[in-house]
Structure 1
Amino acid sequence: MNEHLEQLAPQPLWRHFRTLCNTPRPSGHEAELVATLERWAERQGLAHDRDDFGNLRIRKPASPGREGAPGVILQGHLDMVAQANADHPHDFTRDPIETYVEGGWLRARHTTLGADNGLGVAAALAILEDDGLVHGPLEALFTLEEETSMGGALQLAEHWLEGDVLLNLDSEDRGEVFIGCAGGADIVVEAQLPTAEPGPDEVAVQLALTGLKGGHSGIDIHRGRGNANRLLVRVLRALEAYDVRLAGYRGGTLRNAIPREAFATLVLPADEAEAAARRVAALEQELRAELAGVEEEMMLTITPLEARPLQALHAHASRMLLAALNVAPHGVERMSSAVPGVVETSNNLGVVSLDEGRFYLCALVRSLRDSALDDLADRFRGLFDLIGARTRVENAYPGWTPSPDSALLARFQRLHRQLLDSEPAVKVIHAGLECGILAGKYPGLEMISFGPSIRGAHSPDERVELSSVEEFWVLLRALVEDLADDAAARGG
């Protein structure tokens, strides 16, 4: 499948990306891809090993005469976000990604594309097999489970990597280079709430809020897109006037993707059902008007259910849960004063579910400041304590402190001017690059992050600009060669 990818330029990079598209690799299911890359390394005569977590490293010796050059680590993550449209059955653990080109962009049919971070991985593999490239010692580091927990970076072995500079290939904007990123943490809330059987005069309905754009919970959090969990809770609050009780709920699938869809099962008095349906229709128009120009495909529907659920929340528990969800922090909390135009602190209400009284929420808090991250997490704890829920912080990872005077950055800027006749924008990103974690484990590494233009990451609208991939490849190849010419950087 995806044979057409090998007709694109640069051909070596796209050939490897085809392998990634054809090999299922959602977070936690990277084993088949790791084995495939190990077999490839053996055919190339390249050394490879794994650390205890399973992160993969492939090494290539320096070109003759460049042994004293700085060691270069090419770094990316193997996993991809698994998101598909609700009407498109796709098993991300078995099915390949089907790609197509449209208007100068590569897309996937009804699913995420996996350009995040498949293109960075493909570029590193293409560099390793490029026998015409003059280079110093090379290491390609491929981490696991970045999209769900940053697990690969957090568990990365210390004293394992040997390089001096690290090129993170997980950025998403041509003409930009990143030197800092936000830290983050998962906020997990759980509770067992009291339930009761529906009464004889109650009927069941399902609410569905669908058609939102979704997107990356860091990069896109400031764009004003709808969050399906936030919007459906607002609708449920309005329906409390009709004595509804919440019986079931599911919204969002990943804590780092802005939820595109949410569904709720309700019970309510039979004589209120018609009025509730009219209110839902009016609320759909309200939300459409508020989100005009941003969420043109949003739909809000109410459907009668023949079978009633066995249990629904007690009326008081339902009201308390919806009240807590309604005021839970969401979206941009604060913009940075130090880095204009960059979000400093935010939260994404990523995954919410209710099943037989078991409530679960997973939100992702991000911040350039660890103190602000801790404060927002504590606010979650304080809020959900009020309804007797248990709150915990998981998978916390540090931010990446910018180094604007970095020699590596200056080198990249010089090459960008020479090759592309433009000055790259130096950026700090409100997303969880692995650089912050890696810098903590290897404090002597110089790092930058750059990549091609990817839009709609973490959603089925994900796409990559083909011309930007060519530009990315030219820069990466030139930077590796330029570093090899600087053997004096290590006193060699």
Structure 2
Amino acid sequence: MSISSTQSQLGHLYPPALWQWFEQICAIPHPSKHEAALSAHIQAWARERDLAVIVDQVGNLIIRKPASAGMEDRKTVAIQAHLDMVPQKNADKVHDFCSDPIEPWIDGDWVKARGTTLGSDNGIGMASALAILGASDIQHGPLEILLTVDEEAGMSGAFGLQAGILEAEILINTDSEQEGEIYMGCAGGVDAKIALPVKWQTADEDHLAYTLSISGLKGGHSGVNIHLGRGNANKLLARFLAGHASELHLAISHLQGGSLRNAIPREAQCSFTIPVSQLESLQTRVAQFETLVKTELAATEPAIKLRLADVQAPQKTLDTESQSRLINLINACPNGVMRMSDDIPGVVESSLNLGVMTTETDQIQIICMVRSLIDSGRAYIESQLQSVCDLAQAQIRFEGCYPGWKPDQQSPVMAIVKDTYESIYQREPEIMVIHAGLECGLFKKPYPHLDMVSIGPTIRFPHGPDEMVNIQTVGQYWTLLLAVLQRIPQRTN
């Protein structure tokens, strides 16, 4: 699949080769765990150009390109991105992420998508790597392009990368999201999966049935945006239930919210029954709660809305004890920023996101994502979650723990990127540690001596339908990346 010049919406932007590749990436569905079609397309393209292609045991794609003339003695550089994207859409958008293309469009200085995530995280980085592979006029030493799978849903690609495949001494990660910032470290994380056993009772036939929905929230990346004070739809719903379920004699039949553990939940809903005598009180409490949260979150969530809709009566509802334990569990579960870093001003040290709630046959499942720059910070949050679950008689397990990327103040490639940026733009970049999880920490296990740095253009609101990438900064990122490749030093042996 390719994009013709007549179909192209972005090909006139700078740099053209990068944007043309990004359009091809958007045209081929590639949500997490469904990257095979995009990988196959890239493999076929690379083999047509006689580039060496490797697909490892977990599906990571490695493509090698020889050095340009006169650069053969330089250190080998790996340019790294991930193949997958976060699949999020607005409630009124009809879109199947496994079959439908992303629809990018230009809105002033930004490229956005129509009603869905754009996939600029990490599609722009991937596009830049592929544009370099296809170019004949770019100076660079020996190159390896590393495209990992499943970064957004568990980092299984980075976990599965084996020692001995990469030849690179330097790795440039392209998954950062702010122009003018150079990242040299990131948070580690772990998924917390909670299962609350529940019992059901026969629903009262003479009660009314309703669904309360919370929507209109901004959501966003649970690492990058966690400090912005945005509403979490799951927590807001639990807050309403904790305050009013008992007085309204409300009986829950279904609960769900959020869709990804690493995206701040934008929507949540609860279905329930209530006595006919409580309907007016319910309507009053919902209106009062909507006014309350709109006032509290006026600056961060101006579009928040609550909707009460009558629905078909359920056959069963939670029994009193199960409902009490459920509401108390979600309401008491910590969420958001837990601690700011003492060492790095303005950076979150530890956080968690209550990302997903689902109702199953005999249990309610909750998935949280814990992040921390330090292992002890992560362990403390795990301890708090364990305590809350013990009190609620819920089971919890921690899965997919991945390490942070410890900053190296003496990194040679960081110095090269910093000096190159200053020489091009006549200003100092900020050297940063990001609270989001980059794959770099996992690469250090099979490749402990790999010198790494992370750069990228400015991306706003990743992991949500408001995601956008700034056009000018894509050009700036491209210029910086090419200049850095020219400055890679010679091999020492």
When normalised by structure 1's length, the TM-score is: 0.97
C-alpha distance in structure 2 between counterparts of 1:491 and 1:297, whole Å: 57
1:260 aligned partner: 266
1:405-441, Cα deviation, whole Å (9 max, x unpaired): 2111111111111111111100000000001111122
Gaps of 5+ in 1: none
On the 8 A contact 1:84/1:111 being kept in 2, the answer is yes
Gaps of 5+ in 2: none
C-alpha distance in structure 2 between counterparts of 1:462 and 1:432, whole Å: 18
C-alpha distance in structure 1 between counterparts of 2:299 and 2:258, whole Å: 22
Within the candidate set 444, 447, 457, 1:452 is matched to 457
Alignment of 1:113-262 (within 5 A): 113-240=118-245, 241-262=247-268
1:422-472, Cα deviation, whole Å (9 max, x unpaired): 111000000000011111221100000000000010000000000000000
The SS at the match of 1:188 is strand
2:366 maps to amino acid:
L
Q: CA deviation at 1:358?
A: 2.3
Within the candidate set 297, 301, 307, 1:291 is matched to 297
2:64 aligned partner: 59
1:387 aligned partner: 392
1:246 maps to amino acid:
I
User: Which stretch of the first structure deviates more once superposed, 199-208 or 106-115?
Assistant: 199-208
1:242 maps to amino acid:
L
C-alpha distance in structure 1 between counterparts of 2:474 and 2:140, whole Å: 21
The SS at the match of 1:58 is strand
On the 8 A contact 1:249/1:355 being kept in 2, the answer is no
1:312 aligns with 2:317: yes
C-alpha distance in structure 1 between counterparts of 2:38 and 2:135, whole Å: 21
2:487 aligned partner: 482
C-alpha distance in structure 1 between counterparts of 2:239 and 2:392, whole Å: 18
Runs of 4+ with >3 A deviation: none
C-alpha distance in structure 1 between counterparts of 2:94 and 2:434, whole Å: 33
2:269 maps to amino acid:
F
1:238-292, Cα deviation, whole Å (9 max, x unpaired): 2221111211011000000000000110112221122111111111000100001
1:378 maps to amino acid:
S
1:285 maps to amino acid:
T
1:81 aligned partner: 86
2:187 maps to amino acid:
A
2:107 aligned partner: 102
1:93 aligns with 2:98: yes
2:37 aligned partner: 32
The SS at the match of 1:161 is coil
The SS at the match of 2:367 is strand
The SS at the match of 2:226 is coil
On the 8 A contact 1:312/1:356 being kept in 2, the answer is no
1:300 aligned partner: 306
On the 8 A contact 1:248/1:356 being kept in 2, the answer is no
C-alpha distance in structure 1 between counterparts of 2:386 and 2:299, whole Å: 35
The SS at the match of 1:405 is coil
On the 8 A contact 2:404/2:441 being kept in 1, the answer is yes
1:423 aligned partner: 428
1:147-191, Cα deviation, whole Å (9 max, x unpaired): 010111011122211100000000000011000000000000113
The SS at the match of 2:11 is helix
1:311-356, Cα deviation, whole Å (9 max, x unpaired): 1110121011101110101000000001111000000000011244
The SS at the match of 1:142 is strand
Q: CA deviation at 1:404?
A: 1.6
Q: CA deviation at 1:397?
A: 0.3
1:491 aligned partner: 492
On the 8 A contact 1:183/1:369 being kept in 2, the answer is yes
1:347-387, Cα deviation, whole Å (9 max, x unpaired): 00000112444210110000001111122112212211223
C-alpha distance in structure 2 between counterparts of 1:439 and 1:119, whole Å: 24
Within the candidate set 278, 287, 290, 2:284 is matched to 278
C-alpha distance in structure 1 between counterparts of 2:250 and 2:447, whole Å: 54
2:414 aligned partner: 409
The SS at the match of 1:440 is coil
On the 8 A contact 1:78/1:144 being kept in 2, the answer is yes
Within the candidate set 5, 8, 13, 1:3 is matched to 8
On the 8 A contact 1:212/1:298 being kept in 2, the answer is yes
On the 8 A contact 2:460/2:468 being kept in 1, the answer is yes
Alignment of 1:437-448 (within 5 A): 437-448=442-453
2:95 maps to amino acid:
H
1:188 maps to amino acid:
K
Within the candidate set 439, 463, 470, 2:468 is matched to 463
2:227 maps to amino acid:
H
Within the candidate set 376, 379, 390, 1:371 is matched to 376
The SS at the match of 2:9 is helix
On the 8 A contact 1:313/1:357 being kept in 2, the answer is no
1:368 maps to amino acid:
L
On the 8 A contact 2:328/2:392 being kept in 1, the answer is no
On the 8 A contact 1:97/1:108 being kept in 2, the answer is yes
On the 8 A contact 2:339/2:350 being kept in 1, the answer is yes
Q: CA deviation at 1:388?
A: 2.5
On the 8 A contact 1:195/1:356 being kept in 2, the answer is no
- Residue correspondences, number: 487
Cα RMSD between the aligned structures? 1.1
On the 8 A contact 1:80/1:117 being kept in 2, the answer is yes
C-alpha distance in structure 1 between counterparts of 2:11 and 2:317, whole Å: 54
The SS at the match of 1:6 is coil
1:234 maps to amino acid:
R
1:316 maps to amino acid:
E
